[in-house]
Structure 1
Amino acid sequence: MPIGDNLPTQSERSFLNLFEPPPQLIEPAVRACRLFNTALDIVFYDVATLAAQLAERDASVRAREEKTPSRIVQLDALSDPEGSLLLIDANTAPYVHRYTDVELFLTSPHPETRAVEIATITGVGSSALGSAALAWDISIALEKPVLAIVPGYGMADVVLQALGGWFGFGLYDYLHAKSLIQNALANAAPRTASIGRQLLASTPDAKTLHGAPVFRHGSGSSDVLHALLLHRDAPFKLLVGHSKGALQIGNAIRSLPPDRTHELQVVTLGCPISTDVEGVSYYQYLGLFDALGQLNMWGHRPNQWPPTWHSTNPNLPPAMAAGKYAADAFPA
Structure 2
Amino acid sequence: MADAGRNSTPLVLASAQLRRNSAAEVVQAKAPWREAVLEGYRRRNTTLDALFYDIGVITPAEAAAVAPWLAREGALLIVPPSQAGRLRICPDIEDFAASGGTGMRILAVAGVGSSALGTAAFARNVADAFGEPVAALVSGYGLADMLAEAAGGWYWFGTLNRVRHLFEQFDDLTRGTAFEITHPRPFNLARTSLDTRTLCQLLADRRFRFALLTGHSKGNLVISEALYALQGTGMDGDLAETAIVTISAAIAMPPRYRRIIDVMGELDWFGAMNSDPAITVEVRPAQAWHHTNTDLACHLPVRTVLAGLRGRPALAMLQ
Question: If the TM-score is normalised by the length of the shorter chain, which range does it land in?
Answer: 0.7 to 0.9
Q: Distance in 1 between matches of 2:90 and 2:33?
A: 26
8 Å Cα contact 1:287-1:310 kept in structure 2: yes
Aligned residue among 51, 55, 65 for 1:72: 65
Using structure 2 for the length normalisation, give the TM-score: 0.77
Partner amino acid, structure 1, of 2:270: L
Residues 75-98 of structure 1, C-alpha deviation per residue, up to 9 Å, x if partnerless? x343x6454110111257543221
Number of the residue aligned with 1:211: none
Q: 1:91 to 1:305 in 2, by over 3 A?
A: closer
**What percentage of aligned pairs have identical amino acids?**
30
Is 1:177 the counterpart of 2:163? The answer is yes
Q: 1:270 to 1:304 in 2, by over 3 A?
A: same
Using structure 1 for the length normalisation, give the TM-score: 0.74
Deviation at 1:202, TM superposition (A): 5.2
Partner amino acid, structure 2, of 1:246: N
Deviation at 1:154, TM superposition (A): 1.5
Number of the residue aligned with 1:290: 268
Number of the residue aligned with 2:239: 261
Deviation at 1:129, TM superposition (A): 0.3
Partner amino acid, structure 1, of 2:57: T
Aligned length: 273
Aligned residue among 142, 153, 156 for 2:141: 153
Give SS of 1:239's match.
strand
Number of the residue aligned with 1:84: 75
Number of the residue aligned with 1:302: 281
Number of the residue aligned with 2:27: none
Q: Distance in 1 between matches of 2:198 and 2:114?
A: 14
Give SS of 1:289's match.
coil
Q: 1:70 to 1:232 in 2, by over 3 A?
A: farther
Q: 1:224 to 1:278 in 2, by over 3 A?
A: same
Q: 1:205 to 1:152 in 2, by over 3 A?
A: farther
Number of the residue aligned with 1:313: 293
Give SS of 2:168's match.
helix
Partner amino acid, structure 2, of 1:51: T
Q: 1:85 to 1:286 in 2, by over 3 A?
A: same
Number of the residue aligned with 1:28: 36
Q: 1:89 to 1:33 in 2, by over 3 A?
A: same
8 Å Cα contact 1:182-1:215 kept in structure 2: no
Partner amino acid, structure 2, of 1:322: V
Is 1:273 the counterpart of 2:273? The answer is no
Q: Distance in 2 between matches of 1:158 and 1:215?
A: 20
Number of the residue aligned with 2:86: 95
8 Å Cα contact 1:45-1:312 kept in structure 2: yes
Q: 1:291 to 1:86 in 2, by over 3 A?
A: same
8 Å Cα contact 1:229-1:260 kept in structure 2: no
> Counterparts in 2 of 1:103-252, with a 5 A limit?
103-106=94-97, 108=98, 110=99, 112-173=100-161, 176-183=162-169, 185=170, 191-192=173-174, 194=175, 201=178, 204-205=181-182, 215-216=189-190, 218-252=192-226
8 Å Cα contact 2:212-2:242 kept in structure 1: yes
- Could you tell which deviates more after superposition, 254-263 or 150-159? 254-263
Deviation at 1:268, TM superposition (A): 0.6
Listed as ranges, the gaps of 5+ residues in structure 2 are: 1-29, 312-318
Partner amino acid, structure 2, of 1:137: N
Give SS of 1:311's match.
coil
Q: Distance in 1 between matches of 2:42 and 2:153?
A: 14
Q: Distance in 2 between matches of 1:172 and 1:77?
A: 23
Q: Who wins on radius of gyration, i.e. which is larger?
A: 1
Q: Distance in 1 between matches of 2:79 and 2:64?
A: 13
8 Å Cα contact 1:170-1:298 kept in structure 2: no
Number of the residue aligned with 1:15: none
